[in-house]
Every structure is written in structure tokens, then in C-alpha cells.
Amino acid sequence: MTATAEAHPAEISPTRIEIDPEDYVWINGFPTPPVLRRRPLHAFVSVIKLVTNKEDTRQVFEIVQALAGDSPKKLFRRFTSTPYGRRVVTEPVKLEEILGDRERLRAYPEGSLARAYLAFMEGENLTPEGLRAAAEEASIDYEAYPEFSEYMRLFMHLQVSHDLWHVLTGYGRDALGELCNLVYTRQQTHNPGFKLIVAIGFVAQKLEQPSQPIQKALAEAKRNALAAEWVLEYDVEELLPLPLAEARARLKIGEPKIYNAVPDEIKRTLLKPKVAQTQAERERAARERAALQAS
């Protein structure tokens, strides 16, 4: 279940509407929009679609929007209370450009977090732009509300962090790895939408592979997440040059031993997508179309 790390701007209507400045909620000196109601039925339907196809990233956006409540507000308050968080939303620090510059990443030392991230993204045929495209499919436009630009910047930053968190936590993009990474994301962001995804994803995976330690792997992911530092307050550019093991040690991210013990062939077939095109395939097709248009 590919996701952004990590929460999204759930209070923002997908269709541009005018919001009275009197309804703004001010947090740490920044305007944020009023909270929209939760939509549990919409979230449940999206979870079922996601279980059917773990590559349907759009459904993750739909779920976290539908169930977010005031959790994005709390996250924004905590984030902008840190020096790095305030820099991200005011300068702004554009993580999508930092992690999208493959030549820059390739210039880092072998064995560094940057090189591990690059290998992960190239191996999976992924780009930060692909996650943004998935957000657009869910009618999320990070530029639709310039009056809330600082608030929206947090969620763009969080979205782009998702695949970096895969590398840091050691969880792959197989169905179990995605679920474990979402356990970690839930603990970092406290968005209740991830809890629903994990609960239903667990049932689906356990029914498919009852002999595998799915529950133990998820419990280990939660323990590791609770023991870890709050990653969002760390400057990503300072982490990128570090050896991967050193970056994990600095963030107190433990090894996913139970997950690693599950045979790769089981991971590859678990909840195999039941549709023809995955996120990676969509990205590859888009690049091929762009190349044809340019030629």
C-alpha cells in the first residue's frame, strides 16, 4: 500500500472554495483552514480498493483525508515549533526538488542514505513526481490555496518523505512492507486514517497467508516506531550524506527482524495487485509519453 507519509491537508476541499479570513485557524503565526467533517464510509470504500490493489496510491490520500479530523492541525503545530519545520514552511525547503535531483544524489558517497534512497527509487521505477500525480488523482492541489502556503508545504514535505522513510525503516514496497511502513507513519503523524488501513490490510494479508507472522511484524513495526526519534524535525539534507546505518542509529530506528525473516517469495506474492497497471507502471508510461512528445 503505497502512501505518503505519511497525513494530508484534509481540511482543504478538493474544489477551490473561498474561505472567509474570519474562519482561519491561526497556528504558530500561520493561517490554516477550518476542519472538515470526517467521512468514515468514504474511507472504508477506499480501503477496500487499496487492499484490492496496493499500488493504488490515490486511495491512501482519500483515506487520510476522510479520517484526518484535527490531526493535521496538531501535526502542523508540532512541526512549526521546531527550527527545521519552520524553515521548511517559510523558505520553503522543497524536498521534492532535493530528492528528485538524481545527479546530486549520485554524487554522495557509496553506502550513504542518499545513495540507498536513489537505488530504492531507481529499482522501483519511482519518482517524487509520481506521488504528486497520485495526489492530483485524488483531487489534491497543493497550490490551490496560496493563503495557506505554509500549511500546504508541510504536507508536500510529508508526502515526498514517504519513500525516504521506506529506506530508513528497511521496509520494502511489498504489501507487508507497505503496511509496516504505515504503522511507522501512523506513529509519526497520528493520523487515524493509517490505523484503518493497517487494520484492514492486516486482515486481508492474514487471510491470504495465515502461517506468516503478519501480526508480529506489525507489532515490531510499532515498537520500532515508538522507540524512534520524531523524524520530521531532522534536516533531511544533513542526513543524506551519512552512512545508512549511521542515519538509522541517529534516528533510533531499529532493524525489522521479523519482517526480514519472511521469505521474499511470500512478500512478492502477498496481495499481488489485481489490476493491470501499478503506480510504477503509470509513471513509466507517463515518461514514455513525454519522451515521444519531445521527439
d(CA 129, CA 145): 20
Query: Burial code of 32-63, b = ≥16 C-beta within 10 A, e = fewer?
Result: bbeeeebbeeebeebbeebbebbbbbbbbbbb
Per-residue model confidence (pLDDT) at position 2:
39
- Whether residue 6 lies inside any domain: the answer is no
Per-residue model confidence (pLDDT) at position 135:
62
Per-residue model confidence (pLDDT) at position 9:
45
What's the structural domain count of the chain? 1
Cβ neighbours of residue 272 closer than 8 Å, sequence gap 6 or more: none
- Whether residue 126 lies inside any domain: the answer is yes
- Whether residue 4 lies inside any domain: the answer is no
3-class secondary-structure state, position 271 = coil
The one-letter code for the residue type at 186 is R
Per-residue model confidence (pLDDT) at position 127:
85
Q: How would you class 106 by CB atoms within 10 Å of its CB: exposed for 0-12, middle for 13-18, buried for 19 or more?
A: exposed
- Integer distance in angstroms from the first to the last C-alpha of the chain? 35
Per-residue model confidence (pLDDT) at position 137:
62
Per-residue model confidence (pLDDT) at position 179:
92
Cβ neighbours of residue 184 closer than 8 Å, sequence gap 6 or more: 165, 169, 171, 221, 224, 225, 228
Cβ neighbours of residue 295 closer than 8 Å, sequence gap 6 or more: none
* Rg of the chain in Å (alpha carbons): 18
- Give helix then strand counts, H and E, for the chain: 17, 2
- Whether residue 5 lies inside any domain: the answer is no
Q: Which helix (DSSP H) or strand (DSSP E) does residue 26 occupy?
A: strand 25-27
* Residue 199 belongs to domain spanning: 21-294
- Whether residue 27 lies inside any domain: the answer is yes
- Whether residue 106 lies inside any domain: the answer is yes
Per-residue cell: 258: 521479523
Per-residue model confidence (pLDDT) at position 55:
66
- Whether residue 70 lies inside any domain: the answer is yes
Per-residue model confidence (pLDDT) at position 133:
66
Mean pLDDT of each 10-residue bin along the chain, 295 residues long: 39 62 93 80 78 71 72 94 98 95 97 97 86 63 83 91 95 94 92 81 88 96 97 98 98 97 92 57 67 72
3-state percent breakdown (helix, strand, coil) of the chain, nearest 5? 65, 5, 35
d(CA 40, CA 63): 8
Measured in residues, the chain has a length of 295
- Whether residue 183 lies inside any domain: the answer is yes
Per-residue model confidence (pLDDT) at position 10:
43
